[in-house]
Chains A and B, each alone.
Chain A
């Protein structure tokens, strides 16, 4: 399971970096979203996957029963919520840029780097 997920994470990273290096707004947004998912999956694998185990056990079972760690999921949940907020902000921002600058090419957004801006 870990091996498959690791390969998938690697693929997601590859895809997101490939998309982020494009000039189109849409590809950048998709790249940002995929990057966030790749990181979340990374967090999930790094937190060690245990299948079909209870996350909470009684006091008597402590030390004997196998249990799974609920914290990585909690971290991922937090990261998903924050990530979604930022992604929505990015989408709205790029929408605004699209209407203000009338372009969907990131390379044209270089007025801030020109000496006479």
Chain B
């Protein structure tokens, strides 16, 4: 019975989204529903996480069908960690989007809140499902809501970005479906635990590697890995900053989650794919960071930084030892928080300077020093300066990389880290440090600015505190990451938890 706690974080966003649809065009009502819904979801997620960390993997069979025939919902340490982080952002984004500068009032009275709730619903489902076809469905729930969010408001740039985003994601999902088709044709099952057993049995044909490549390509598109990342910088910066922040923070990581889940659990090991991932990690880090250095729009610099830092997550997956994977998991948590906060802060810069362009905004260190401090903490954390959170993730990845003699990979990771400093200083120097003679005459005093954009300031400060906590008190999250990684490699425990409840 206690396993049913799993349904709380999953179903609350759906119910709240439905309630929001009944309150169509009534912004105030939708806000009440969103806030209470996301709070309940976060509480449910925390309760679920507590149970999983104490008692191990929790699973239930939806509809009462026995496994492997029914649809299984599974929560292990890896998925609950991400569920909790997702819903922390789900609550914070509410406050961030309160001022009209981050998401306009018209967008909020229309589909913003229900779409956001449905996206959180899709993400939670994708993290908690134990069935590969079901994973496809959750991905679609998540993507269709993000399509709506990206194009909400119908501005020209948004529409252009949405065309690219929608088309490439549709193709990616179709390829994912093709992979599922091959697996079903071979093994006659879509339950991940059951597949893990069947695909490791003797005499499995090599066609399984074809399916594996379909999955790899599909999830690489969704996670924006080299060479399939070009849609990301073209679409993520286009929506209003509140929407861009949550999409940029979460969606690519769900792609990586699916990649880790399927490659580690479902598919048998394959040296070729391991080599491929290694190459992709190196090239993703490098191309992403060079892209970031070449841009002039803060949101685009951040979008390329997302691509670049996806490389670190693939790095852990490519090395594929439990400690490396723990590094990846820690890095995912760190990256979700830090990237979202950097988008939050670029929104604050926009609220003050009316521009995202690094040549047009300027002098913020003098005007709003606390904002400069928020930016510095997040930026240094992204670069990986100890004792901030990025350092611990990079340390775990680099030390296991050296232990497994992946010198090139570690070298590139450290180089990318240095170049990240260059990329963030391209925002820091002109936007915060430099005094621009021709800068916009800003009429607001500091107090008036904070009052006007209170929600944005509060949520960004809260996220910064979380990042600081993750850096100075890394222990608990590192331990959970190690536990999650060991659980991922202990396939038999997962299989037993699902098939023999």
**Do A and B bind?**
yes
User: What are 7 inter-chain pairs, A to B, with CB distance below 8 A?
Assistant: A46-B185, A75-B133, A75-B180, A93-B147, A94-B163, A101-B159, A112-B164
Taking a contact as CB atoms under 8 Å apart, the answer to whether A112 and B185 are in contact is no
B184 near A79: Cβ-Cβ < 8 Å: no
B462 CB → nearest A CB, Å: 31
Q: Cα distance A72–B177 when bound, in Å?
A: 11
Is B235's CB under 8 angstroms from A112's CB?
yes
Interface SS majority for chain B: helix
Is A43 located at the chain interface by the 8 A CB criterion?
A: yes
Bound complex: CA A45 to CA B231 (Å):
31
Contacts of B173 in A (CB 8 A): 86
Give Cα distance in the complex from A8 to B284, angstroms.
36
Q: Contact check, B184 vs A46: say whether CB atoms are below 8 A apart.
A: yes
**How many Å from the CB of B173 to the closest CB on chain A?**
8
Partner of B185, one of A47, A113, A115: A47
Bound-state CA distance A35–B178 (Å) is 11
B66 to chain A: which residues have CB within 8 Å?
Answer: none
Say whether A111 contacts B140, CB under 8 Å.
Answer: no
Against B, the Cβ 8 Å flags (1 = close, 0 = not) of A68-107 are 0101100100110011011001100110110011000010
Cα A106 to Cα B164 in complex, Å, equals: 10
The 6 closest A-B pairs by CB, nearest first: A46-B185, A46-B181, A43-B181, A39-B174, A109-B160, A97-B159
Instruction: Using known A-B contacts A48-B185, A86-B140, A100-B156, determine if residue A35 contacts B180 with beta carbons closer than 8 Å.
Output: no
Which B-chain residue is minimally distant from A78 (CB atoms)? B137
* Pair A112/B154 contact, Cβ less than 8 Å: no
How many residues of A are counted as interface, with CB atoms below 8 angstroms from the partner's CB atoms? 38
Evaluate contact between B178 and A39: CB separation under 8 angstroms: yes
Is B166's CB under 8 angstroms from A112's CB? no
A73 to B: closest C-beta gap in Å = 12
Q: Closest residue to A32 on the B side, CB-wise?
A: B170
Where the two chains meet, the residues of B that have a C-beta atom closer than 8 Å to any C-beta of A are 133, 136-137, 140, 144, 147-148, 151, 154, 156-157, 159-164, 166-167, 170-171, 173-175, 177-178, 180-182, 184-185, 188, 233-235, 237-238, 295-297, 357
Q: Is the CB of A28 within 8 A of B167?
A: yes
Residues of B within 8 A of A69 (CB): 188
Say yes or no: A93-B151 contact (C-beta < 8 A), given A39-B177, A75-B133, A82-B140: yes
Contacts of B178 in A (CB 8 A): 39, 42-43
Residues of B within 8 A of A112 (CB): 157, 160-161, 164, 234-235, 237-238
Query: Which residues of chain A from 33 to 77 have a CB within 8 Å of any chain B CB?
Result: 35-36, 39, 42-43, 46-48, 69, 71-72, 75
- Of the listed residues A43, A46, A72, A90, the one surrounded by the most CB atoms of chain B closer than 10 A to its CB is A46
Q: How far is the CB of A57 from chain B (nearest CB, A)?
A: 16
Q: Is A100 in contact with B154, judged by CB distance below 8 angstroms?
A: yes
Q: How far is B238's CA from A106's CA once the two chains are assembled, in angstroms? A: 17
Given contacts A82-B137, A112-B235, A93 and B162 within 8 Å (CB-CB): yes
Contact B170 A90 (CB under 8 A): yes
B295 closest partner in A (C-beta): A115
Report the Cα distance A69→B190, complex, angstroms: 14
Contact assessment for A75 and B184 in the assembled complex, using a CB-CB cutoff below 8 Å: yes
How far is A79 from B173 in the complex, measured between Cα atoms in Å? Answer: 10
Q: How far does the alpha carbon of A39 sit from the alpha carbon of B233 in the complex, in Å?
A: 28
Q: Compute how far the CA of A96 lies from the CA of B163 in the bound complex, rounded to whole angstroms.
A: 10
Q: Does A7 contact B (CB under 8 A)?
A: no
Contacts of B144 in A (CB 8 A): 82, 85-86, 89
Evaluate contact between A93 and B184: CB separation under 8 angstroms: no
Residue A117, interface by CB 8 Å? yes
Which of A36, A113, A117 neighbours the largest number of chain B CB atoms within 10 Å of its CB? A117
Q: How far is the CB of B190 from chain A (nearest CB, A)?
A: 8
Given contacts A86-B144, A97-B163, contact A79 B238 (CB under 8 A): no
- Cβ B160 vs Cβ A101 within 8 A: yes
Find out whether the CB atom of B154 lies under 8 angstroms from the CB atom of A96: yes
By the criterion CB–CB under 8 Å, are B167 and A117 in contact?
Answer: no
**Distance between Cα atoms of A40 and B27 in the complex (Å):** 40
Known A39-B174, A79-B177, A112-B234: A106·B163 in contact at CB below 8 Å: yes
- Inter-chain contact B167/A32, CB cutoff 8 Å: yes
- Do A86 and B161 touch across chains, with their CB atoms under 8 A apart? no
The distance from the CB of B119 to the nearest CB of chain A, in whole angstroms, is 14
Shortest Cβ distance from residue B186 to the other chain A in the assembled complex, whole angstroms: 8
Given contacts A96-B154, A101-B156, A115-B296, contact A89 B181 (CB under 8 A): no
Q: Closest CB of chain A to B77's CB: distance in Å?
A: 30
Which listed residue, B156, B180, B233, B295, touches A111 by the CB 8 Å rule? B156
